[in-house]
Amino acid sequence: AEKTRPSIIRVDTTIGFGAAKAGTAGVHGAPLGAQSLGDVKALFGFSRDESFKIADDVYKFYADRAAKGAELEKQWEELLGNYAKAYPELHKEFVRRVEGRLPEGWEKALPSYTPGDKAEATRKLSEHVINAIANKLPELIGGSADLTGSNLTRWKDAVDFQPETTMLGTYAGRYMRFGVREHGMAAICNGIAAYGANIPFASTFLNFISYAAGASRLSALSHLRVLYIMTHDSIGLGEDGPTHQPIETMAMLRATPNFLNFRPADGNEVSAAYYAAITNSHRPSVLSLTRQNLPHLEGSSIEKAVKGGYKLATYGSAANPDLLIVGTGSETSIAVDTAKLLADKEGLTVSVVSMPCLELFNEQSDEYRHSVLLPGVPAISVEALSTFGWHKYVHHPIGIDTFGASGPYKELYEHFGLTPDVIAQKALKVLKYYKSNSVPTLDLEF
């Protein structure tokens, strides 16, 4: 038997074999019809007139298989019991992982940050998290689609999952080199998650999850915990240009049921994204991470961020804000700078909301959501992606509804008007409009 290489077995078949339209598209998506169905039954020795008839020998075959299965299960339980006696600690760990229980206290390894810590790209902050939890979560297994050096997903003492004959790793390794095959990578992770006992992750640039969309959608449909660690998440990736810059991608992911989608704004929100992704055992998650450095924000915390959205800070002296600015990911710090500008130059009071995960925010109570997105207060959002979907939450979304462009990322932000001075001018127009018009309450659930 071949034990060192995969094998391909090719079988030639005829679709609809035995039917009048055999070998044509006519048997693919339409009923055969009574006459043709009867011909197929007769060809295989069945009665033309009986439907859903199961022969006694078929019942017996499966009854025998059930008895055999029961005997194998009994043998397995005995083996597992003997293993528990011989290796109690390994047995305990094995059972924990099969049952899907996380190690007690693993989350204490998640790093937290203050505004005094140095600015870093969220992909780098993600690397810090992976290094912190990799040995706390031995079930964490995964890799990148040929972008490890850019995704920063390989922890310091990781061993590649490779046959020992390659001298590149071992089958005890937990890091996978998936190659440039995003769909295959996501499908493999689905299989690992479905089998259980491991938590798989897949990584590439955010825009390239589109190549994996068929398989990543099945992650959500099948309620599988797969972590999609997606870097280079906006025009902030710079010169690679519009072929690499996601615009509509996050809108597609947010429209997918049972998917958690994170755009963390700083280190605390990155840790929160990992906590939520790992503790949600029946949902896949996308962690959308930046190439460019971001500051750690005043008012952020892991505890707040796991709610999906929260009040980050308020600038100005009034008791109630004149304006809300909602930011995600790399645009949250821009929202902060815009709020400060409006407070200093226009005398306004502006509250900034960080919204790392709309799906988790949607699951909060009405009372909580409306304590964050205050009814009666004009709200704008800032995100360097499509504005599609944001009208549910804000009165005027600011983003990019064209393809991106190639250039240094700071110049691109200026080109697309995602700078504090331009956003502030748009905010003033929104406020002027709502001085003479009622402010509708958004994000209502009935």
Token reading at 289: 């991470």
Q: In sequence order, what DSSP letters do the residues of 190-253 get, joined into one string?
A: HHHHHH-S-EEEEEEEGGGGGGGHHHHHHHHHTT---EEEEE--SGGG-TT-TTT--SSHHHHH
Nearest CA-CA partner of 361 in 445, 244, 427, 418: 445
Nearest CA-CA partner of 392 in 443, 427, 429: 443
Q: Report the first-to-last Cα separation within the chain, whole angstroms.
A: 61
Partnered with residue 262 across adjacent β-strands are 287
Token reading at 20: 């009048």
Catalytic residues: 182
Distance CA 234, CA 250 (A): 10
Nearest CA-CA partner of 216 in 245, 253, 247: 253
CB 159 within 8 A of CB 173: yes
Distance CA 372, CA 361 (A): 10
CB 340 within 8 A of CB 315: yes
Token reading at 274: 């990992």
Antiparallel, parallel or unpaired: β 379-382 and 323-327: parallel
**In 53-98, where do the E strands start and end?**
none
Distances (CA, A) of 345 to 22, 297, 310: 76, 22, 25
